[in-house]
Chain A
Amino acid sequence: MNHTGGSEIEQLIQLLGRLPGLGPRSARRAVLHLIKRKDALMIPLASALQRAVEAVTICEQCGNVDTNSPCAICTDPRRQQNMMLIVVEDVSDLWALERAGVGPVRYHVLGGVLSPLDGVGPEDLAIDALIARAGEFAEIVLALNATVEGQTTAHYITDRIGGLDIKITRLAHGVPVGGELDYLDEGTLSQALKARTVLQNP
């Protein structure tokens, strides 16, 4: 039987191996690295994890993760003056938009998209919560993935919010920055052509 140094270390390897991007081999390397740098890395990591376990919560308004609920984004006075709400599928999308510096906007995290194959229906997503707060905003931007499931969800939300007097928009689909036409798929090219913008009128 293989021996890797005690049940605590085995358990640590198993747990780390469940993380995205890590398998058993890379988890073993990570654990060895942590053990070698116990004071500089392992102890601070353990206490950081403990603090995160105690403090991290889901924002009751938008579904973001933060140490407070409502989160820092929802309570930011600059953002509260802005009447734009961006709807995203997941917290990682919210972080991506924040990294892009989209401005002082507020968000709503759906927690997924409609997916019959995975058994995700409207009741599994934060759509009712979105409808409940939609009236506070002048514009709702549906920043969902340009996939069949993402856009079905976008249309479904539009139907559900349809009765309210709110502008609903979605992100443009087309050529990405740095994209070369020759390498783009036909679908993206056709969407880009349909959504072309005018540079000059006669």
Chain B
Amino acid sequence: MGHPMKIRAASSNGVTEVKVLMNHVMETGLRKDASGALIPALFITDVTAKLNDAVVLQAQWSQAVSKNPYLSFKVKGGKPGDKVAISWADNSGDSRTDEAVVS
């Protein structure tokens, strides 16, 4: 299920700017714990962004995206009250979708 994301979407002059802060460890698989054992990789691999149920952006990520990933993008269209949905899936099979209303 993961932890909730923070999503902000604001429209101005016909363009909606979306800013997302996800909540994920983004473990590289290169770090060692206190006993010297490798911590297995755990990171978001796929991200999808939708505006009013239409996919506008799809991303594939590696473990080199920072912990608690930040993403921002601009999409034409969208007006106050419209719906933005962001989904991610990680390499463990976990996934999460959060929604926000365009302001």
A binds B: no
